[in-house]
Structure 1
C-alpha cells in the first residue's frame, strides 16, 4: 500500500529484455534506505518488487501483464520515474490509499499554466469514468491528486509548484502516456452496490430498529 506522495525521482539505468518480461534497474537514493529484497517500491504508480540491490541501484522484474497495462512498456535508460516505498503504519497518510495497481493508461491532452499552478487535462479510459468525481482522488503516475473536474472521457488536475518540481508530472508534455489508478474505495462501493449487500444491510437495520 502507498500514499501517492512521491519520495524521489529515480533514473532508469538499464532495461534488460527477457521475452515476455523486462528486468528494470533504477538509480535511486532515498527509497533504498531500509529497503531489502522482496520489498515493494512504486514506479510511476506501479507496485514492483525489489529483486536485487547494488549500491545506488535496485532491480525489479516487470511481467508482460504490467507491460500490457501500464506505461512502463517502452521505458528507456535515462528516463526519470516517480518512486515511493510502501507506507508503514507509523507514517502520516499525506495523500490517499494507493494500491500501486494501475487501472488504465491516460494521455496528457492539455497543459494550461498560470502564475502559481498549472492545470493539466488527461484522457480517461471509459471504464474508469464512473469512479471519478469532482474533488475526489486520482493517482497519476503514482502521484496522489485531487480531481478538479471529472468528465466522461477526461479529467483535470491542478498541479502546484511542489508537484511540478518533484515529480515527472512537471515534464510530461501533451501526448505523454500516464498511469492511472482510481480510488479503491470507489471500486469497493461499486461492488457492494452491484451485489445488493447494501440493500440487504439496510433492510436488516430496519428490522433491528
Structure 2
C-alpha cells in the first residue's frame, strides 16, 4: 500500500521488451536507501516488485496485464518517473490509500494556470473509470494523491488543481495537453460502485443491492 506522496523522480535507464512483457531498470537514490529484493515500489502509480538492484538502480518486471492497462508501455530510456516506496506500518499517512492497482489511463485535455495553481482536465479512456470519481474526493494520477476539483460526467472528464510544490516534485511538471496518465480511483469509491452495480448484474427475479446476503458473499460480514 502507498500514500500517493511521491518521494523522488527517477529516470528510466533501460527497457527490455518481450512482446507485452518488459523489464524496466530505473535510476534512483532515495527509494534505494533500504531496498530489498521483493520490495514494492510504485513507478508512475504502478505497484511493481524489485527483482534486482545495485547502488544506483533497481529493476522490475512488467507483466502483459500491466503493459496493456498502464502508460508504462510508452516509456523509453530517459523518461522521468514518479517513485514511492510502500508505506511502513506506523508511518505518517499524508495522502490517501493508494494500492498501486491502476484502473486505466486518461488523456490531458487541458492545462491552465489559476493564480498559484495549475489545473489539469483529464479525460479517462474508459467511461466506467469516471463513475466512482467524486468532486472533492481523492484520486491518484501517475501515483500522486490528488483532490478532485470537479467532475463533468456528461462531457466525460474531471479536473484536479496542482500546487507549485506538487508540480515541482513530480512528473506533472513535464505533462501537457495530449499526454497520458495512469489513473487509480479511490478504493472506497470503487468498492461502493462495485457493490451497487451488483443489482444490475443480478439474475432476473433475484433481489439486488446492498443486502445482508450480498455483504456476506463479498466478505464484509462473517
**Fold similarity call, TM over 0.5:** yes
Shift in Å, 1:171: 1.4
Question: For residues 56 and 132 of structure 2, what CA distance do their matches in structure 1 show?
Answer: 38
Q: Does 1:66 align with 2:66?
A: yes
TM-score scaled by structure 2?
0.87
Shift in Å, 1:114: 2.9
Q: Which residue of 2 aligns with 1:147?
A: 148
Q: Counterpart of 1:107 in 2: which secondary structure?
A: strand
Contact 2:140 2:183 in 1 (8 A): yes
Q: Which residue of 1 aligns with 2:85?
A: 85
Shift in Å, 1:193: 3.2
Shift in Å, 1:19: 2.7
Question: For residues 185 and 157 of structure 2, what CA distance do their matches in structure 1 show?
Answer: 13
Q: Which shows bigger deviation, 179-188 or 112-121?
A: 112-121
> How do 1:1-209 and structure 2 match up within 5 A?
1-124=1-124, 125-152=126-153, 153-195=156-198, 196=208, 198-200=210-212
Unaligned runs of 5+ residues in structure 1 are 202-209
Contact 2:20 2:68 in 1 (8 A): no
Over aligned residue pairs, what C-alpha RMSD do you find? 1.4
Shift in Å, 1:149: 0.3
Shift in Å, 1:7: 0.4
Q: Which shows bigger deviation, 90-99 or 184-193?
A: 184-193
Q: Which residue of 2 aligns with 1:206?
A: none
Question: For residues 90 and 65 of structure 1, what CA distance do their matches in structure 2 show?
Answer: 32
Shift in Å, 1:18: 2.1
Shift in Å, 1:115: 3.2
Show CA shifts across 1:60-106 (max 9, x none).
Answer: 01111111110001210111000000001111111110110110100
Q: Counterpart of 1:135 in 2: which secondary structure?
A: coil
TM-score scaled by structure 1?
0.92
Q: Counterpart of 2:111 in 1: which secondary structure?
A: strand
Shift in Å, 1:123: 0.6
Q: Which shows bigger deviation, 185-194 or 61-70?
A: 185-194
Question: For residues 129 and 20 of structure 2, what CA distance do their matches in structure 1 show?
Answer: 27
Q: Which shows bigger deviation, 121-130 or 141-150?
A: 121-130
Question: For residues 28 and 174 of structure 1, what CA distance do their matches in structure 2 show?
Answer: 27
Question: For residues 19 and 212 of structure 2, what CA distance do their matches in structure 1 show?
Answer: 49
